[in-house]
Every structure is written in structure tokens, then in C-alpha cells.
Structure 1
Amino acid sequence: MRAPRRTIATAVAAAAAIFTATGLSGCSGGVGRTCLDVPTELLAVIAGAATRGVIEPVSGAAVKADPASAVHADGSYIVAVTFRPVEASEGATRAAAFVTGSLEASEAQPILAVDPLAQILTVWPSEVNGIGFAGDDDGIAAAKACVEDDG
């Protein structure tokens, strides 16, 4: 027995709608990157390199970096972290962007500070051995959009 064409078309359309909705959930900014969760251990490692005082990571999200701009041999992740100074109990959070080699804290280094806020808040370098993160501005924007949607 053959299924009516209309039933098949409806099922395909419904599956496509579900895939699109779940595949893009949590990610905005229109750059088509999948938002990834960042483990609290990695957030703690990033925040542990504060330039002065203590900064509290509030939330974090990541996207896979464009392969052309990857710093790490096996690819890089752009990690956006919202921080709050410990003295501030509410509000005052802003997202800073970092590049890591993994989302696992033990495999993330070298960690690079890739936007001005990250460079001000932490002592993470912006380059290692003359190699810096080059040009994935869309990825930085996407990671920040992910963390803003998450927070």
C-alpha cells in the first residue's frame, strides 16, 4: 500500500521545520553557527587569569571557529563568557571573547583573548609565538549572540 503523496510531503515539511527549530535554538545573530555549551571548568580556567581582582563568569557559550582562522592544530573554538566583577551583585555583565583548542578545560590551552574586553579583564595573550587569531569576526559575534541568548 502506498502512502498518499500529500501525507509524505506533510511529514517531510514537519521534519524539516523541527530540524530547523532545534538546530538553531539558542543561537542568533544570523551567521548560521551552532551554539555549544561551555563546561564550568573551562569558565573557571578562563576567569582564573583575571588581571586584577576577581571576576565571576556568569555564563558561557561557544561556536566552532572558521577553519581558516583556527589557531590550534585540531581546530579552535570561540568562547564568549559573560563576566561580573565580584563586587557587583547584579547587572554589569559584558561578554568577552576567547579562543580555545577544546571545550575541555584540560585541553583548551593555549587560550587567547581575542577582543578588547578579554584583553583588559585577563592576562591571556592575544597571540602565541607570533600566531594570533585572525579575522573570524562573524564567529566572535555568533559566540556573543549565543551567550546573550543563554544569559
Structure 2
Amino acid sequence: MPIISPHADNPLIDGRQSDRALMVRRGVQRLFADLRLAMVPELALASGRRADLVALSESGEIWIVEIKSSVEDFRADHKWPDYRQHCDRLFFATHSEVPAELFPVECGLIIADGWSGHMLRDAPEHRLAAATRKAMLLRFARAAANRLLQAELSAC
């Protein structure tokens, strides 16, 4: 499932996202669309990390979803705590074949397939500071606007 990137380096061509991870992302995106959340996948953060999915609620709350496609994928990842500094709520998303008890209870948990997702556990809130929120909102808006422009230009 390609995304539009204003840069020549499309983040989905780097080979890091498996078909299974993209399936989980589609399910989460459909769940979040039902919850009326706006989303930007593969958003670069100020820390240099790249969030799998960033969502924005109607009230301005920022959620980050870290997608894990296997037990090994989770165990190899030591960067996920860094995402907390960029969001109000942090979630993991996976599929039904990955044991739910693997994921830390201080994060939300979503189980998804290619058609939808189910929020197994809500994420606790940890409100962002005003300056961090503004920076994230600008990053989100600029990425979304740039991708929309690229989609329009590529359609010509």
C-alpha cells in the first residue's frame, strides 16, 4: 500500500515493512477512520525516529501507533519508548497471531487485520507540553499537505 511522499525516497520501498505489517496498518487505519481520526503513516519525528502511524483526534490529541508484525519484531525493537515524547497516547498494533501479553501494559494495544481493528486496551494519556504539541501539529500538517500536493501533481 504505497503512500505519497514529496521526496524521492518513498519510505515503503526501504524493505522494512512486511506485507503483514502493512495489513495491520490498513486495519488500524480503518478503525481510526471510524473513530474520526486523521492519520499520517510513516511520519518522521524531531528525534529522527519515524512513527509507523500518527493520528490526530478532533480535539487535537496526538496518538502514535507502533506496528509489530511478529514476536521477533517486538523483541528486536528498543526504540519504542522514545515515541512517548511525541504523543499524548502510545499504542502498539499487531495481528491475532502475536500474543497480546507480550506488549507492555503502559501502552494501548490494537489487534488488526486487513479489514479492521479492535482496541484491546486503551492507551493511558500523558499530555504533551504545549510547545511539543505545536511542533507535532505542524509536522503532521506539513507532511499531510505535501503528500496531498504530490498526489495531485502525479495525477496530472
TM-score (norm 2): 0.30
Query: Which one has the largest radius of gyration?
Result: 1
**TM-score of the superposition, structure 1-length normalised?**
0.30
